[in-house]
Amino acid sequence: MADRRLLYGGGGSNMSSVFFQNQRGPSSSSSSSSEPRDSLFIPGSSSSFLGPRSMVSFEDVNGRNRSKRSFFCSFEQEENGEEDLDEYFHHPEKKRRLTTDQVRFLEKSFEVENKLEPERKIQLAKDLGLQPRQIAIWFQNRRARWKTKHLEKENESLQASYSSLRADYDSLVKEKEKLKAEVLHLTEMLLLKEKEKANLELSDTTKLSEAYPKEPIGDLISEDEVSKVSVVACKQEDSSAKSDVFDSDSPHYTDGVHSSVLEPCDSSYIFEPDQSDISQEEEDKLNNSLLPPPAYEFLKIDGAHYFDPSSNSCDFGFPVEDQAFNNFWTY
DNA sequence: TTGTGTTTTATTGCCTCC
DNA sequence: GGAGGCAATAAAACACAA
């Protein structure tokens, strides 16, 4: 480390190069920075160390006073005349910025290759009349700036990508909610339809039981029909409960959007026929025949399953939230 | 003119590679 | 162990509004 600092202080490069690039026309400035630039400077004879102010030169090879400054310095500073020169040498500790042309030159070189091989560093230092150490520092700082900008761009790109994905996600969520509502509506329609259908069948069954009072009802109707009767009984028993289904208090409904539609169906929901018309024995038979089948059958409507058949619980396979709808789509 | 924020040049300390 | 890169930082130079 200390050695490097010493290198900076004692830089062995020739600091007295005089540049004439500006007098060679535009083509010279556009030449590739990776090319040797020997033709663009005149090696000076002085080897005296000028530190950071090394861009200043006094003599050309022949010892003649060609310019008080390097080519680059002359661009911006020659109009300041002697005062500027005084400042230059009376305050040698001051930091001085590179000239615009030096920076342009370095930028072009950086575009070609952002890493600096020792030979290139020496060459650039010669071309620009700077210390190799200054060239190295400039490239180092330039790489840091490039990295910062690159990270900023990357960040912007990621943010744009995130915004786009977020918008997609939001629209999908809206679409999902819309579809949920549609499914809910259609399910209710189907239930109503089934209810009406079951009502008709129920009235037929009642007529049959009146016509054949000794026969158990279970023998007269299919198991499937019994199921339907049961669920309809449930719904009829507590038609007002339907409003409760949509209440947030319902334990089977949690998110305020989804509805499990059906309420738990315990034995109290079972259809109870008019006891005045049926004997105790018959009543028992009837009750047995009307015991609720597995819950999943309750909604076996028109051959389509709507709830989890593996679940016998009265929540009809509706856990909380979206899983209910996953079940919808899987059946 | 001056205070303040930004940019550029340079230093320091640490790390990796050969 | 030396050379070089990088991150963090200091400090000078610069830009600009009030």
Q: Is the CB of A7 under 7 A from strand B?
A: no
The per-residue pLDDT for range A88-133, each reduced to its tens digit, is: 344 445 778 999 999 999 999 999 999 999 999 999 999 999 999 9
Q: Which nucleotide is nearest to A114 (CA to C1')?
A: C5
Backbone angles phi, psi at A159, to 5 degrees: -65, -40
Q: Does residue A167 surpass a pLDDT of 60? A: yes
CA distance A299 to A100: 82
Measure, in angstroms, how far nucleotide C14 C1' is from residue A47 CA: 32
Q: How far is the CA of A26 from the C1' of C14 (A)?
A: 28
Nearest nucleotide to A135 (CA to C1') is B9
Q: What is the pTM of this model?
A: 0.46
Alpha helices in chain A (DSSP H): 2-10, 26-29, 71-77, 81-90, 100-112, 118-128, 132-211, 217-220, 223-237, 241-245, 280-289, 323-330
Contacts of A271 (CB under 8 A, 6+ apart): A202, A229, A230, A232, A233, A236, A237, A290
Å from the A88 CA to the C18 C1': 32
- Reported as a single tens digit per residue, the pLDDT across A125-161 is 999 999 999 999 999 999 999 999 999 889 889 999 9
How many Cβ atoms sit within 10 Å of the Cβ of residue A269? 20
Query: Does residue A1 approach strand C to less than 7 Å at its CB?
Result: yes
CA distance A29 to A104: 9
pLDDT category at A203 given cuts 50, 70, 90 is confident
Q: For residue A227, what pLDDT is reported?
A: 47
Query: Is any atom of strand B within 7 angstroms of residue A133's beta carbon?
Result: yes
Is the CB atom of residue A241 positioned under 7 angstroms from any atom of strand B? Answer: no
Burial class (CB in 10 A: 0-12, 13-18, 19+), A46: middle
Say if CB A252 and CB A303 are below 8 A apart. Answer: no
Write down the residue that tokens 């020792």 correspond to. A118
- Please, are residues A325 and A258 in contact by the beta-carbon 8 Å criterion? yes
> Protein A103 CA to nucleic acid B17 C1', in Å?
30
Residue A179 has pLDDT above 90, yes or no: yes
With contact defined as beta carbons under 8 Å apart, do A16 and A59 qualify? yes
- pLDDT band (50, 70, 90) for residue A194: very high
- End-to-end CA distance of chain A: give it in Å, rounded: 73
Nearest to A217 by CA among A298, A284, A265: A284
Read off the tokens for A279: 């004997």
Is the predicted pLDDT of residue A35 greater than 90, yes or no?
A: no
**What nucleotides of chain C have any atom within 7 angstroms of a protein Cβ?**
2-8, 11-14
Percent of chain A residues past pLDDT 70, beyond the cut? 35
Mean pLDDT of chain A: 56
Q: What is the mean pLDDT of residues A236-249?
A: 37
* A140 CB below 7 A from strand B atoms: yes
Tokens 């900008």: give the residue: A149
Q: Which nucleotide is nearest to A2 (CA to C1')?
A: B12
CA of A150 to C1' of B2 (A): 36
Task: Please give the C-alpha separations between residue A318 and each of A99, A180, A323, A329, in angstroms, as whole numbers.
Answer: 75, 14, 7, 13
Q: What is the predicted pLDDT for the residue at A109?
A: 94
The dihedrals phi and psi of A42, each to the nearest 5 degrees, come to -110, 120
Report the distance from CA of residue A155 to the C1' of nucleotide B7 in Å, as an integer: 22
Shortest-distance nucleotide from A144 CA to C1': C6
Give A152 CA → B18 C1' in Å.
Answer: 34
Total length of chain A = 331
| Confidence grade of residue A22 (pLDDT, cut at 50, 70, 90) | very low
Q: Is the CB of A90 under 7 A from strand C?
A: no
Higher-confidence residue of A66 and A142: namely A142
pLDDT recorded at residue A205: 79
Return the SS3 of A244: helix
Note the pLDDT tens digit of each residue in A250-274: 333 333 333 333 333 333 333 333 4
